[in-house]
Amino acid sequence: MSFQNYEEIKGNASATDNATSYSETQSYQESDPVKLPVRPPPPMGYGVVPPPVPPPYQASSGTSDAQMGQGPDFQFQQAIFITPVEPTKEPDSLIYSIFTLICCFFPLGVAALIFSIKTQEANRNGNVTSAQKNSRLARLMAHTSLGIGVLFWVLFIIILAV
């Protein structure tokens, strides 16, 4: 390492004239501290009550008898009135669906059973349009399952007879 470069810089006065000198013993102080602008309060009209100020936090070292007797604050619920929904009377074809499930074409019997259960739920909830749609689909699936089942039984008997 060469100290000649250091001595040349130290001897050069023009480089140090522009730089600000700081002492290592002085603490850093900002010349102009940053201040946030003060925000004015919102304008209040005539007759407007200012919002309430919450009470200051008070720490206590122990519990006093007055604090023990207060208990928790309860909020009472408002009364809720539920009007019962009148159930509908759409036929669900549940027994017919179970019969076609067991004795006829199984996949369509399962679909008929599902739609008949959906019809029962829609009847309980009072949903007329859904009950009508599901009842019609359950009947259609059960009829189709019965038709395919009868066709299979007839074909089975014909094959055994021949």
In a domain, 10, yes or no: no
Residue type, 137: L
State mean pLDDT over 62-79.
Answer: 63
| 16 belongs to a structural domain | no
Sorting pLDDT into bands at 50, 70 and 90, what band is 97? very high
Predicted confidence (pLDDT) per residue in 115-146, tens digit? 999 999 999 998 999 999 999 999 999 999 99
DSSP code of residue 25? S
Please indicate, yes or no, if residue 39 is contained in any of the structural domains: no
Domain around 137: 94-161
Please indicate, yes or no, if residue 47 is contained in any of the structural domains: no
Residue pair 93/139 in contact (Cβ under 8 Å)? The answer is yes
Per-residue pLDDT tens over the stretch 1-54: 555 555 555 555 554 455 555 555 556 565 556 666 677 766 666 666 666 777
CA distance 156 to 149: 10
**Whether 106 contacts 152, CB under 8 Å:** no
Q: How far apart are CA 80 and CA 116, in angstroms?
A: 33
Number of domains in the chain: 1
Q: What does the alpha-carbon distance between residue 4 and residue 13 come to, in Å, rounded to a whole number?
A: 16
In a domain, 134, yes or no: yes
CA-nearest of 97, 91, 100 to 120 is 91
pTM summary value: 0.48
Cβ neighbourhood burial of 112 (10 Å; 0-12, 13-18, 19+): buried
Residue at 108 is within a domain: yes
Q: Is residue 20 part of a domain?
A: no
pLDDT-derived band at 76 (thresholds 50, 70, 90) equals confident
Q: Within a domain: residue 148?
A: yes
